[in-house]
Chains A and B, each alone.
Chain A
């Protein structure tokens, strides 16, 4: 009984983790940026979605769309206002730009968090479920919303796979992650590729944020935790490897769910952290990473 419960809950949580981490890993793979404002962007989408759906009366679906849009806008802002100026700055030595991007996006994330906390307070909010009703799976009462969230996550991840592997624009992304210089030599504008990947990232992070708000509830205080979990999933799976991130998302998701159900809810994040340390020491390139 508890086993099945863990299986179902873990599946939904992991699907959400996967969706959140895929965008993060995509950006790292294509443009080498570790975006520490990731959690902030997710929370922006969640809170705008909740606010427009409830207070402004846009309805659950309208609110979700506006939330995703807000995530997209916020991702653009992150790229255009923080990441690109640092990458292009002449005063920052090239080999140090990675560290500056880390620090810059971290600060930007804090700014987003405090601005949101100022506007919407620190309290976590929960959006109305996108799908109502309860389904009985072999004796485990599961909200239909939970199942549909997992389905939506996997649909979007599938679409992303199609986009990257089957379309021309997607193949440019793939090429940029393998050899950016080769791509520019072939006459592609690298900055347009980066803009494309940030757009995809914004949509993914926005969707993940909105779904999270309707599943568990989110508040400005969660930004750090969200960034940390995306970061650790990406590292465990292998930086830049999408399939690795999916695998790692399930590993981390199930580890957390099992700890919460079988040991104690307060210890929830610990096994995942230990797994992270272990992977970093034993196999720094991650489970499915290249290099």
Chain B
């Protein structure tokens, strides 16, 4: 406990949260909206980082899990009028089941093959949404009758609280013995197995946790935006953005992923005047980070302190 109180990252995190929570007093509704979307994105990226940074599995299809959660919640809400909390719980359940169905066979595969299967899962889900347009709204998307709140400030706090809770849980997990075992099995599965750890079980667990958080954030995002569509929730480009955010912030740091996501969303908004070139600049920036600071923004500073 003493060590925890003296650790500098904790105080920095507390200050950042403190500043973030009073922002609605000064900022306009528009800026708050951008930040809120960034917070949900942060949860996506953190969930992805748990799988990639620690378990060493590249999940090219984070949007498969997000989409399952989001669309389940949206359909239940708009077709059956279920209350928001129930919809979110149902979304999480479906994302978890879908994630397990995908991961159980897929985790037998290594490296690029696992990534490929997850990528295909996204493409299949995307096609399924379009084919069953009667229920899902197809390419146009669907709106949900209930939203979290109409006030930008309230929505902002929902997003912030959600991000902080998820960050605490995921960061805690990553620093627990489970995180260490995952890291070991990601870097050298044979040795981890020889030490007596059940690598598959731990990876499956990491995937399930990732699925739960992705699904929940997806469902929440639907009720924040009041709509669900392929372009904003499932499209490969969204998955790519999540990956860029996590790598940008610094893989294997969880918190870096959240930081990277908020930074990416904000940068996309700041660069909006560039129009089409906006994506070009953001990708070029991310590529430069990968080439010159492969540990990411946060990883770079963290690692340097470790080296001292």
Contacts and interface: CB of A to CB of B under 8 A. Distances in A.
Interface string B268-290: 00000000110110011011001
B124 interface: yes
B130 A266 contact: yes
Given A98-B111, A104-B290, A107-B244, A270 B280 contact: no
Contact of B117 (A102, A103, A110, A280): A280
Instruction: Please report whether the interface of chain B is mostly helix, strand, loop or mixed according to DSSP.
Output: helix
Contact of B119 (A85, A86, A228, A267): A228
Contact of A91 (B111, B187, B294): B294
A239 to B, nearest CB: 8
Contact of B113 (A118, A266, A280): A280
Interface string B174-188: 000000000000010
A102 B60 CA distance: 10
Contact of A276 (B120, B131, B187, B279): B120
A114 B291 contact: no
A199 B18 CA distance: 55
B147 interface: no
B130 A114 contact: no
Contacts of A276: 116, 120
A61 to B, nearest CB: 32
A34 interface: yes
Contact of B287 (A82, A273, A277): A82
B123 interface: yes
Contacts of A34: 112
A117 interface: yes
23 contacts: A82-B291, A85-B291, A91-B293, A98-B111, A100-B294, A103-B243, A107-B286, A107-B290, A110-B280, A114-B280, A117-B276, A118-B277, A118-B280, A228-B119, A228-B123, A232-B120, A267-B131, A273-B123, A273-B127, A277-B124, A280-B109, A280-B117, A284-B108
A269 interface: yes
B223 to A, nearest CB: 29
Contact of A269 (B52, B127, B240, B294): B127
Interface residues of A, number: 39
Contact of B115 (A91, A102, A110, A228): A102
A92 interface: yes
B236 interface: yes
Interface of A: 34, 82, 85-86, 89, 91-92, 95, 98-100, 102-104, 106-108, 110-111, 114-115, 117-118, 224, 228, 231-232, 235, 266-267, 269-270, 273-274, 276-277, 280-281, 284
Ranked nearest first, the 5 interchain pairs of A and B with the lowest CB-CB distance are A114-B280, A107-B287, A110-B283, A114-B279, A92-B294
B161 to A, nearest CB: 31
B196 interface: no
Contacts, number: 95
A86 B290 contact: yes
B134 interface: no
Contact of A270 (B115, B124, B293, B294): B124
B240 A110 contact: yes
Interface string B39-54: 0000000000000100
Chain A contact residues: over half helix, strand or loop, or mixed? helix
Interface string B282-308: 011011001101110000000000000
Nearest to B124: A273
Contacts of B291: 82, 85-86, 89, 104
A189 B79 CA distance: 65
Nearest to B119: A228
B294 A89 contact: yes
B96 interface: no
Given A114-B277, A235-B113, A281 B105 contact: yes
A102 B112 contact: yes
Contacts of B187: 95
B233 interface: no
B58 interface: yes
B246 to A, nearest CB: 10
A16 to B, nearest CB: 20
B247 interface: yes
- Which of B109, B116, B243 has most chain A Cβ within 10 Å? B116
A281 to B, nearest CB: 5
Contacts of A117: 276
